[in-house]
Structure formats: C-alpha cells, structure tokens
Amino acid sequence: MNINWGVMIPILAKAIGETFQMIGIALVFTIVFGLLVGVLLVSTDEGGVYEAPFGSRRLGAIIHAVLGFIVNIGRSLPFIILMVVLIPFTRLIIGTFIGPTAAAVPLTIAAIPFFARLVEIALREVDTGLVEAARSMGATRGTIIWKVLLAEARPSIVLALSTSVISLLNYSAIAGTIGAGGIGDIAIRYGYQRYDNSYLFTTIIILIVIVQMVQLVASAVARRLSHR
C-alpha cells in the first residue's frame, strides 16, 4: 500500500480535532444534565430522599414517571433518526446543523439519557444503610446526595462516563455522515466512497487507540477513587 502521509496527516489531524470538539462539548452538557437526571430518577423513586417533594408522594411519583418516560424515549430512537429529527432544534440554537459544534447538540441529547441511566444504576448500588446513617446524624437531603450518594458512587460514575464517551465516539461517526466532520466522516468519505483502504484502516486504528486510552484512564481513576 502506498500511503501519502504528507496528505493524510493534516486531513486526519483536522478530523481528530473535530471529533474531540463535538465530543468535548457534548460531554460537558452530558455530565451536568446526566448527573442531574440520574440523581432525580433515584431520589424521586420510592424510598429516595425526594420521594415526597413538598410533602407530596404523588408529586414525587409523577416526576419519577415523567422523567423515566422521557429518558426511555431518548434511548429508543436510533441516533441517526434522532439527529435528523433534531435538525430544526439544532438550527434554532446553533444557527446551522453542519459542523462539529452543531453535531454536539444531537450528541448531547442522545448521551444524556444513556449516561443518566448509568448514573442511576451507580447510585442505586450505594448501600441504603449509609443514607440511613447520614439521616440519623441529621444530614439534609442535599448533604445525602452530595456527600453520601454521589461521593460513594464516584468510581462507578467514572466508569459510566467512559462508557458514555465511547458511545459518543460511536455516535460522532454517524454524525459525520450528515456533515459533522470528524474521524467517522473521513472513514466514510475517503475509505468507503473512494475505496482508499489506507484511510479506512488508519481511522480504525485511531478509533481503537482512543477507546483503549479512554478505558485505561477511566479504569485507573476508578481504581484510585475506590476504597471498597
């Protein structure tokens, strides 16, 4: 195989930059809203600290059910369809649906429910005895969420985050097909449409390396945080 590195490297460098850009933006919003939704899902459930917001169990149950429903909708749409459906919304807030910044919008919308469910699982793994101990010490709900639930679930949340990043990488390749740019876009345009296997294989290697690194770092951080 005769590879012209001088041509390929700038193209790939730009693509990697675009991929990191869309994933980076999406990740920030995913962390913030995913944590929020995950915490709400757990705390408004029966036995959660907000099972009865404003003294109403009914309100808690309604919030829980509505939130769960929305999250499930988000998770039931295949990313490519979600992306198309969200085009008007993306245009509204970014002004265009082309480019990595615009692609961050559907990526975020897709990743929030995914990450939120993983956060929910992580929080449910925290021993209820710890919540009880905190309550017996007179802890407020906020303290219980911050210093017990989220603090204890940190290792699992870091692993959930790495899973979400890898999903985002996956979605970003699909976003590439409708003009987002990025590594996936190169693989499709150069590798698939131009039959240039050197691009195809190089992008595959890059993707593998990125995923391995994400997982490696996340596992190391999780191990560091875990004292179980």
Partner 1 sequence: MITITDLHKSYSPRNARGTTVEALKGIDLTVADGEIFGVVGQSGAGKSTLLRCVNLLERPTSGSITVAGQDLTTLGEADLRVARHGIGMVFQHFNLLSSRTVAENVEFGLEITGVDRAARRARSAEVLDLVGLGDRASAYPSQLSGGQKQRVGIARALAGNPKVLLSDEATSSLDPETTDSILQLLKELNRTLGVTIMLITHEMEVVKRICTSAALIEGGRIVESGNVIDLLNTPKSKIAHALFPLGESRGEPGNTVIEIMYAGHLADEPIVGRMSREFGIDVNILGAAVEVVSDHRVGRMRLELPGSVESNAVPIARLKDSGLYVEVLEGAL
Under DSSP, is residue 49 helix (H, G, I), strand (E, B) or coil? coil
Between CA 187 and CA 169 the distance in angstroms is 13
Q: Is 220 in the site for partner 1 (CB under 8 A)?
A: no
Q: In this chain, which of 75, 124, 154, 189 binds partner 1, going by CB under 8 A?
A: 154
Looking at the Cβ atoms of 120 and 152, the one nearer to partner 1 is 152
Q: In this chain, which of 140, 209, 217, 220 binds partner 1, going by CB under 8 A?
A: 140
What are the angstrom distances between the C-alpha of 193 and each of 6, 28, 148, 180, 200?
A: 21, 33, 52, 17, 10
- The minimum distance between CB 44 and partner 1, in angstroms, equals 17
Looking at the Cβ atoms of 42 and 188, the one nearer to partner 1 is 42
Report the largest interatomic distance among the alpha carbons of the chain, rounded to a whole angstrom: 71
How many whole angstroms from its chain centre is CA 188? 23
Q: Is 139 in the site for partner 1 (CB under 8 A)?
A: yes
- H or E segment to which residue 154 belongs: helix 151-175
What letter represents residue 227's amino acid? Answer: H
Which residues from 101-130 bind partner 1, rule CB under 8 A? 127, 129-130
Question: Tokens standing for 32?
Answer: 């913030």
What letter represents residue 221's amino acid? Answer: V
Q: What are the backbone dihedrals phi and psi of residue 196, each rounded to the nearest 5 degrees, phi first?
A: -95, 95
Count of residues of this chain found to bind partner 1 when the rule CB under 8 A is applied: 22
Binding track, positions 50-89, relative to partner 1; x by CB under 8 A: ----------------------------------------
Q: In this chain, which of 26, 27, 118, 148 binds partner 1, going by CB under 8 A?
A: 148
The contact set with partner 1 (CB under 8 A) reads 127, 129-130, 132-140, 143, 147-148, 151-152, 154, 225-228
